Structure 1
């Protein structure tokens, strides 16, 4: 059964919304805000925005898989369609990991770090470059050093999941583009 134009539009809408938001948040907004806002302001903005970002990405990934699977029965899947479904599953898994775990833990650890930093008069510097004061704080304060290590780990895992979603959505867009008969 061929999907209706409405279903095709919805599929494209969910995929392009997710892709566009991922590109904007990852490669534009984050860099601009981090280079122009005080560190703690930037961190608090991310803490407020990221749950929405992660939930929207997860929802779009789930809806993309659902729409695609509705019109591609498993017994009739080609290798390319099977690959596309796997890509959607990877995107959902990475998105949900970020939504439910990595993103939240990263935000919680950052909030704890900011309390320690504020107690030492830090956090109002603009930019993310490690200041000498924060390096000294890491060296002299074992609990802050542990928080910094946790942040580094969970931020890296969250970033990896985010990049997985970007790649998955890019591959899905490529798949759609190769099946367009006209612009």
Structure 2
């Protein structure tokens, strides 16, 4: 005959998230991370090398708002599900670190969604207008760099726009990489708790 369940075991069982919560958490985290890796390291490079520059820019301007909003939503839902499953009075150092990682991911995603990504897209649209007026924009891959370099040298307003684009694109890329790292750390946190595949 079995004795009563120890209090520690009963308490551990009470704090375990349901399989549905675990599934949702894994689904949002893996969706976000997979999308970020694909967009950052595969789709962007392939399109930039095989599409006319303005076509590539137009596709990015249409896709990036969805990309940034999905990333922000997944980051927020991951934090929410994790926080719901780990009451604050029982948080250990590792869980607190995980919540900080989710908060950083949300902050970087929201910055991209609301500011850096939008400003970058607006500047690209302005650059494309100037380039079209000079008959540029249909170059593919590395062939696009030399005509733009010459335009920067001869047109001060275009040069200033190009500098602003470089700044905001760098900030947007930094936020994006920050999200990839945060989601990678979160996946590592989950993988470290798997007893089997």
* TM-score above 0.5, yes or no: yes
Whether the 8 Å contact between 2:108 and 2:175 is mirrored in structure 1 is yes
The CA distance in 1 between the partners of 2:37 and 2:142, in whole Å, is 20
* Matching residue of 1:40: 54
RMSD: 0.9
Relative to structure 1, is the Cα distance of residues 129 and 171 closer, same or farther in structure 2, using a 3 angstrom cutoff?
Answer: farther
Q: Alignment partner for residue 74 of structure 2, among 49, 60, 82?
A: 60
**C-alpha displacement at 1:35, in angstroms?**
0.4
- For the pair 1:159 / 2:176, whether they are aligned, the reply is no
Whether the 8 Å contact between 1:139 and 1:145 is mirrored in structure 2 is yes
**C-alpha displacement at 1:132, in angstroms?**
2.3
**C-alpha displacement at 1:71, in angstroms?**
1.0
TM-score normalized with structure 1 length: 0.98
**C-alpha displacement at 1:162, in angstroms?**
0.2
Whether the 8 Å contact between 1:51 and 1:99 is mirrored in structure 2 is yes
Whether the 8 Å contact between 2:21 and 2:81 is mirrored in structure 1 is yes
The CA distance in 1 between the partners of 2:142 and 2:187, in whole Å, is 33
**C-alpha displacement at 1:178, in angstroms?**
0.4
Say which SS state the counterpart of residue 141 (structure 2) adopts: coil
Whether the 8 Å contact between 1:39 and 1:128 is mirrored in structure 2 is no
Say which SS state the counterpart of residue 179 (structure 1) adopts: coil
Q: Alignment partner for residue 113 of structure 2, among 61, 74, 99?
A: 99
TM-score normalized with structure 2 length: 0.91
The CA distance in 1 between the partners of 2:133 and 2:144, in whole Å, is 17
Say which SS state the counterpart of residue 86 (structure 2) adopts: coil
Aligned length: 183
Whether the 8 Å contact between 2:53 and 2:144 is mirrored in structure 1 is no
The CA distance in 1 between the partners of 2:190 and 2:116, in whole Å, is 30
* Matching residue of 1:170: 184
Mapping 1:127-138, distance limit 5 Å: 127=141, 131-138=145-152
- Please identify the structure whose Cα radius of gyration is greater: 2
